[in-house]
Amino acid sequence: RGKPMELIAGKKFKLPVWEAALRTMRAGERARFRCDVKHVVLYPLVAKSLRNIAAGKDPLEGQRHCCSVAQLHEHYSLGYADLDELQKNPQPLIFDIEVLKVEAPGSYQQDPWAMTDEEKLQAVPLIHKEGNELYRQGKVQEAAAKYYDAIACLKNLQMKEQPGSPDWIELDQKITPLLLNYCQCKLQCEEYYEVLDHCSSILNKYEDNVKAYFKRGKAHAAVWNVAEAQADFAKVLALDPSLRPVVAKELRSLEARLREKDAEDKIRFKGIFSQ
């Protein structure tokens, strides 16, 4: 859906027949392949993962705690009626494949879900740096996507650790600044409720995070949660008095918006009651 699929050769893809087919093709070529049932028994699971990726969901959803073969013998829904039917009654499948581009090893950046644990750790600083550069260029949406990818890498690693363990905490402390950068992007995109959720999740763990209070205060102010905004800005001052000029500017802006809103409300209500 808008983004071509990437298949990385030599990564033990669940449908080896696709990789075998691609090895016979050139860039720009289109071809049709008919595959026997024995080669596509895992297609329903692969298709579910690809659809989850297209929908922005976790591609590994429902696949973490049992192997693929065991899953195929379980009588549960994949979440898609056509895939459920295909899983119950396997059929030969025909695939139309078009090769848009072939890239040499090391010349592309993998999606986080396709990386090994070591590759994720190595990629995070690079993705973070790319996000910062995009943000400096004013490409806020693109920067947010980079921060999201870096967070996804670390979250995937964190899920494999015991919550509260030293390794889990170390990963969480790497996630926090990335999440704050992501929130800064979302503030500029006026996606305030997402900022409220993420900053609150940070503050539930790190009660002295000044940046989280400040960004949450700005988000509260934007959605007219006046008392909550004032409380967050007060907390910022308590934790870091040197930020008083910045906080004062935000409070003046909030007060000006409140006066403007009150004036608009008076005009609106005056028109209603004069009818």
* Average pLDDT per consecutive 10 residues, the chain (275 residues; last block may be shorter): 74 84 93 95 89 65 43 62 93 95 73 79 95 98 95 91 94 97 97 97 97 98 97 98 97 94 78 60
Coil, helix or strand for 90? coil
Long-range Cβ contact pairs of 53-56 (< 8 A, separation 24 or more): 53/111, 53/113, 54/1, 54/3
The domains of the chain, with CATH numbers, are 16-98 (3.10.50.40), 112-273 (1.25.40.10)
CA atoms within 13 A on the CB side of 111: 14
Q: Is the pTM of this model over 0.85?
A: no
* CB burial of residue 31 (10 Å; 0-12, 13-18, 19+): middle
Q: Which residue, 186, 134, 40, 131, is CA-closest to 199?
A: 186
243, 233 contact by CB (below 8 A):
no
